[in-house]
Amino acid sequence: MSLADPTSDTTPFFSDDSEAEGSEEPGAGPSQRREEEEPASGVSSLRAVFTVIVLCFINLLNYMDRFTVAGVLPDIEQYFGINDGKSGLLQTVFICSYMFLAPVFGYLGDRYNRKMIMSVGISFWSIVTLASSYTPKEYFWLLLLTRGLVGVGEASYSTIAPTIIADLYIKERRTQMLSVFYFAIPVGSGLGYIVGSKVDDLAGDWHWALRVTPALGLVAVVLLLFVVKEPKRGAIEARPEHTLQRTSWLGDMKALCRNPSFVLSTFGFTAVAFVTGSLALWAPAFLFRAAVFTEGRPPCVKGPCDTSDSLYFGIITVVSGILGVASGAEVSRRLRLRTPRADPLVCALGLLLSAPFLYLAIVFAQASPIATYVFIFLGETFLSMNWAIVADILLYVVVPTRRSTAEAFQIVLSHLLGDAGSPYLIGVVSDSLKQTDSYLWQFRSLQLSLLTCSFVAVGGGAFFLATALFIEKDRQRATNYAPTDDEPIVVPKSGRSTRVPVSSVLI
């Protein structure tokens, strides 16, 4: 078959069948014995654990790099002389490239070797991130361009990594491993603030904060190539890839759009993305302005700026993220014993509880810094309850051959309506509300614009409550999925692949 044939059992260069299938060694005994001893995924238990560890490390680096910029944002604003609107663009251009390329990598991830795709993407991400740290003062547009290109590498990873874990584990074990994987999001985000602020302080130059993750990224590529093993798609669920009929990309999208649980949970996750994207970029800057306004802290006139708020916010993000992800997974596990609708209900609970605490954190910023940090901690803890559960919902309501496409679709929609625009939107609203350029209005305008996050969180909770109405039916449909006689199959024609109904080729 040709390289482009998605159903080919051997695809040169992109294939990893030598790993996934294995080859019988001389004197190793009959092949039947090897098949009985080898796990269905084609990956040993120990190798599977190491695979998850490497994927978690890379996920941590992704989020660490993403929020390093937010950790040194006051320095960047002072260095380039930009306003809040342009500052918000730093996150927006990254998310835009990330979400538009996610479907491309989702399509490739469902058809070709996932390990090779991720290796190339992460290498590119490391190089571009390093290049962004050498942006001259007069070329802010160049920093925007390089931050946009960083999204290429992250898109190649984020759409594919969860599907590898899904092909290594099932049921409760899968939920546990996804929880470990998604610990990297709050931990990596918090480390981005912490490392960015501390490197900035030590070096006296914010550029060095952007040079930490590229070096670690190259280490990640080496680990990915030599430790991670490509599992067989769907085999762990007793439904090997070759027994599931592949439909076209358009057919996959139609099936996903007819899946209420997937669509509604994606809209719920969009609210999570909106809130986290807004807070991730603007919370440290907001806390800094609150300190200038209420505590008389010196404003940032010349770098390096005071980055203590980024450090404290990073620590809070790490701790609240770990507690939130762990508690969300545990509450969901216990609630499943009583109702099969546990997952979307826990997600809804997390968002609805986070909304009032985030509102109080923003309101109390001018009265009590300690109360503000306490409310931020509680709000982020409840917000973090969603991460692993949303990923698990997607994996058990979507069949294996559509999972990378589903991950990509969820990334596009959640970022398009969520954190692609929310940092820029918050910045623009802040600029429009600013009546004067005084320190009072720099703080007050940003405070008012951030209040939007609480109301968006409530809307996201409503979407997850709606998901609970359909989750049982959609999970059963995915579990019992079997291709019908009218679904298209791939038939070679003059060296190329074409899709025709089964009934037209049966004799």
Q: Residues 317-337: what's their mean pLDDT?
A: 88
- Judge contact between 109 and 160, C-beta under 8 A: yes
Name residue, tokens 């060095």. 208
Q: Which residue did the predictor score with more confidence, 22 or 73? A: 73
Residue 156 lies in a domain: yes
Q: Can you tell me the distance from the alpha carbon of 139 to that of 116, in angstroms, rounded to the nearest whole number?
A: 34
pLDDT for the residue numbered 37: 57
* Residue 357 scores a pLDDT above 90: yes
pLDDT for the residue numbered 295: 65
Q: Can you tell me the distance from the alpha carbon of 286 to that of 363, in angstroms, rounded to the nearest whole number?
A: 12
Residue 3 lies in a domain: no
Q: Count how many domains the chain has.
A: 2
Residue 503 lies in a domain: no
Q: Can you tell me the distance from the alpha carbon of 278 to that of 276, in angstroms, rounded to the nearest whole number?
A: 5
Q: Residues 280-308: what's their mean pLDDT?
A: 73
Residue 57 lies in a domain: yes
* Residue 245 scores a pLDDT above 90: no
Read off the pLDDT band of 360 (50, 70, 90): very high
Residue 372 lies in a domain: yes
pLDDT for the residue numbered 301: 59
User: Same domain for 179 and 269?
Assistant: no
User: Same domain for 102 and 230?
Assistant: yes
Q: Which residue did the predictor score with more confidence, 143 or 13? A: 143
pLDDT for the residue numbered 489: 45
- The CATH number given to whatever domain includes residue 207 is 1.20.1250.20
Residue 417 lies in a domain: yes
The residue type of 309 is D
* pLDDT averaged over every residue in the chain: 78
Angle at 124 between CA 119 and CA 128, to 5 degrees: 150
* Residue 395 scores a pLDDT above 70: yes
pLDDT for the residue numbered 85: 72
- Judge contact between 431 and 83, C-beta under 8 A: yes
Read off the pLDDT band of 12 (50, 70, 90): very low
Portion of the chain with pLDDT greater than 90, in percent: 14
Domain boundary residue among 210, 234, 258?
Answer: 234
Tell me the residue range of the domain where 347 lies.
248-480
User: Same domain for 258 and 214?
Assistant: no
Read off the pLDDT band of 304 (50, 70, 90): low
pLDDT for the residue numbered 1: 39
CA distances, 194 to each of 29, 199, 317 (Å)? 54, 8, 10
User: Same domain for 258 and 223?
Assistant: no
Q: At what angle do helices 308-335 and 387-397 cross, to 10 degrees?
A: 40
- Best mean pLDDT range from 124-128, 300-304, 469-473: 469-473
pLDDT for the residue numbered 496: 45
Instruction: Give the pLDDT confidence of 124-165 residue by residue, as tens digits.
Output: 888 988 888 888 888 888 888 888 888 777 788 777 888 888
User: Same domain for 110 and 222?
Assistant: yes
The residue type of 220 is A
* Residue 486 scores a pLDDT above 60: no
- Sequence-ordered strand ranges (E) for 249-373: none
Q: Is 477 helix (H, G, I), strand (E, B) or coil?
A: helix
pLDDT for the residue numbered 303: 58
Q: Residues 435-456: what's their mean pLDDT?
A: 82
* Residue 454 scores a pLDDT above 70: yes
User: Same domain for 425 and 394?
Assistant: yes
Read off the pLDDT band of 492 (50, 70, 90): very low
Beta-sheet pairing, 496-501 with 488-493:
antiparallel
Q: Residues 167-193: what's their mean pLDDT?
A: 80
User: Same domain for 125 and 255?
Assistant: no
Tell me phi and psi for residue 141, to 5 degrees: -60, -30
User: Same domain for 418 and 444?
Assistant: yes
pLDDT for the residue numbered 350: 94
User: Same domain for 227 and 276?
Assistant: no
- Which two tokens mark 78? 């002072």
pLDDT for the residue numbered 457: 94
CA 194 to chain centre: 20
- Judge contact between 350 and 286, C-beta under 8 A: no
Q: Residues 207-236: what's their mean pLDDT?
A: 83
pLDDT for the residue numbered 485: 47
Read off the pLDDT band of 40 (50, 70, 90): low
pLDDT for the residue numbered 291: 80
Q: Residues 195-204: what's their mean pLDDT?
A: 82
User: Same domain for 252 and 230?
Assistant: no
Portion of the chain with pLDDT greater than 70, in percent: 80
- Best mean pLDDT range from 98-107, 382-391, 402-411, 460-469: 460-469
Domain boundary residue among 211, 234, 257?
Answer: 234
pTM of the entire structure? 0.67
pLDDT for the residue numbered 469: 93
pLDDT for the residue numbered 62: 83
Q: Residues 318-335: what's their mean pLDDT?
A: 88
Alpha-carbon dihedral sign for residues 167, 168, 173, 175: negative
Domain boundary residue among 206, 234, 262?
Answer: 234
Q: Residues 385-394: what's their mean pLDDT?
A: 84
Read off the pLDDT band of 238 (50, 70, 90): low
* Residue 214 scores a pLDDT above 50: yes
pLDDT for the residue numbered 14: 41
Residue 8 lies in a domain: no
The residue type of 265 is S
User: Same domain for 121 and 150?
Assistant: yes
pLDDT for the residue numbered 464: 95
Read off the pLDDT band of 274 (50, 70, 90): very high
Residue 27 lies in a domain: no
User: Among 19-33, 87-101, 329-343, where is mean pLDDT lowest?
Assistant: 19-33
Read off the pLDDT band of 400 (50, 70, 90): confident
* Residue 305 scores a pLDDT above 80: no
Contacts of 487 (CB under 8 A, 6+ apart): 245, 247, 501, 502
Instruction: Give the pLDDT confidence of 51-82 residue by residue, as tens digits.
Output: 888 988 988 888 888 778 877 877 887 788 87
User: Same domain for 206 and 86?
Assistant: yes
* Residue 443 scores a pLDDT above 70: yes
Q: Where are the alpha helices (DSSP H) in 295-341?
A: 308-335
